[in-house]
Amino acid sequence: MTRRSPITLLPVVFACAIASFGLWSLSFIAASPFAAQRVDVPHLRGGTALNGHSSDAGTKDARGTPVSLLPMSFALATAFFAFRGLSSSKTSSLAARKVDHARVPRLSRGAGVNVDAQIVSTKQLNVHVETDTTDDSVVFRQNFAETSEIALNQQVKMELDASHQYLAMAAFFDRADVALPGFKAYFAKASEEEREHAEKFIEFINLRGGTYAPMPVAEPERTSWSSALDAMKHALTMEMQVNNALLKLHAVSDEASDPQLCDFIESTYLTEQVEASNSIAKIIRKLMRAEPGLGVYEVDKDMMEMA
């Protein structure tokens, strides 16, 4: 319910005051001796009144009767109700102009606003995403055997396992009680290279129209070593295992008559794998010749240059 403020009631009070004052003034004027309009002539007082009428009739007051005041009262009452209706209409119009701004979106100046319009649901803004991606028209897989695809996914897992193991070795040599930064940098670089090998295999699977099937990465077999020589022997064993898996993958691709896969393995991995094994074997020989302590420190400086 809308309450009227004192300002909106001022016209009503003012109208009532004018009406009361007007009624009081009319009553006062009617009761005054100047308004009586008496016909009281001294030389006619004892005889016949003017125009042959009795002097008593001429002495009657000419006061206004209640009937003569009815038009004035009706006019004042009409003004009173007109002022009241005007103030009520202004209040109702101001209340009607109030708009629930929470329901009306903000628009640019000059744009029309529909108060009754509902807010647009967010469901209508959802982007349509295609779910059917099995269109036969884009299938380009050719001469890519399922056995080769399985072997490639297994090779990805082996490369990631080797990367995880090399990362653990880098963390070991970075410890304060070991403090061989050259070996740390060498194994950190080896971990990154093994991860890059896995990424290349995944890209090749997609290139041939296959599907990469992620498998969990194994926990590192070891996390500490008795010496740098022990760690390098472990690295050589791991590189030989990876190389052996590459040779098996090459045999599978050759059996599936997939020359492109065979060429990919030969040109990208086999040569690099043999070179890595040869490099680790040389480091092992240096460590066997060097004495613990200062000798390992000198080899560590060479490892820093290799990294």
- CATH (domain of 261): 1.20.1260.10
CB atoms within 10 A of CB 146: 9
Q: Give CA separation, 153 vs 49, 193, 204, 206, in Å.
A: 142, 18, 11, 11
Q: Which helix (H) or strand (E) holds 125?
A: none
In this structure, is residue 58 part of a structural domain? yes
Residues 178 and 258 in one domain: yes
pLDDT tens digits for range 145-173: 999 999 999 999 999 999 999 999 999 99
Q: What pTM was estimated for this model as a whole?
A: 0.56
Residues 175 and 268 in one domain: yes
Nearest to 1 by CA among 76, 63, 92: 92
Top pLDDT among 288 and 102 is at 288
Domain finish residue from 79, 95, 111: 95
CB 208 within 8 A of CB 146: no
Residues 158 and 263 in one domain: yes
In this structure, is residue 132 part of a structural domain? no
Domain range enclosing 64: 6-95
Give the model's confidence band at 192: pLDDT under 50 very low, under 70 low, under 90 confident, else very high: very high
Domain finish residue from 56, 77, 95: 95
In this structure, is residue 117 part of a structural domain? no
Top pLDDT among 159 and 96 is at 159
Residues 262 and 155 in one domain: yes
CA distance 211 to 46: 141
Q: What is the reported pLDDT for 35? A: 43
Residues 61 and 164 in one domain: no
Residues 157 and 296 in one domain: yes
Residues 73 and 183 in one domain: no
Residues 73 and 153 in one domain: no
Question: First CA to last CA across the chain, in angstroms?
Answer: 83
In this structure, is residue 139 part of a structural domain? no
In this structure, is residue 156 part of a structural domain? yes
> What DSSP line would sit under 210-224, residue for residue?
------PPPPPS-S-
Tokens of 251: 């045999």
Over 60: is that where the pLDDT of 51 sits? no
Ranking 2-6, 91-95, 105-109 by mean pLDDT, the lowest is 105-109
Residues 182 and 60 in one domain: no
Residues 159 and 34 in one domain: no
CB 184 within 8 A of CB 174: yes
Over 60: is that where the pLDDT of 52 sits? no
pLDDT tens digits for range 218-247: 999 999 999 999 999 999 999 999 999 999
In this structure, is residue 263 part of a structural domain? yes
Give the model's confidence band at 306: pLDDT under 50 very low, under 70 low, under 90 confident, else very high: confident
CB 140 within 8 A of CB 178: no
For residues 15-38, average pLDDT: 55
Over 90: is that where the pLDDT of 189 sits? yes
Over 70: is that where the pLDDT of 292 sits? yes
Q: What is the reported pLDDT for 136? A: 56
Residues 163 and 278 in one domain: yes
Q: What are phi and psi of 113, to 5 degrees?
A: -120, 125
CA distance 103 to 117: 8
Q: What is the reported pLDDT for 108? A: 44
The beta-carbon contacts of 39-42 under 8 Å, at least 24 apart in sequence, are: none
Q: What is the reported pLDDT for 287? A: 95
Q: What is the reported pLDDT for 17? A: 60
Q: Give CA separation, 162 vs 104, 176, 245, in Å.
A: 61, 24, 12
Q: In total, how many domains does the chain have?
A: 2
pLDDT tens digits for range 107-139: 444 444 444 544 444 454 454 455 555 555 567
Give the model's confidence band at 307: pLDDT under 50 very low, under 70 low, under 90 confident, else very high: confident
CB 202 within 8 A of CB 160: no
CB 11 within 8 A of CB 83: yes
Residues 168 and 281 in one domain: yes
Task: Give the CB-side neighbour count of residue 144, counting CA atoms within 13 A.
Answer: 17
Top pLDDT among 131 and 50 is at 131
Domain finish residue from 55, 78, 95: 95
Tokens of 146: 């399922």
Non-local (6+) Cβ contacts of 131 within 8 A are none
Dihedral sign for Cα atoms in the order 96, 99, 103, 106: positive
In this structure, is residue 136 part of a structural domain? no
Q: What is the mean pLDDT of the chain?
A: 75
In this structure, is residue 113 part of a structural domain? no
Interaxial angle between packed helices 228-255 and 181-207, expressed in degrees from 0 to 180 and rounded to the nearest 10:
10
Q: What is the reported pLDDT for 107? A: 41
CA distance 303 to 182: 5
Give the model's confidence band at 99: pLDDT under 50 very low, under 70 low, under 90 confident, else very high: very low
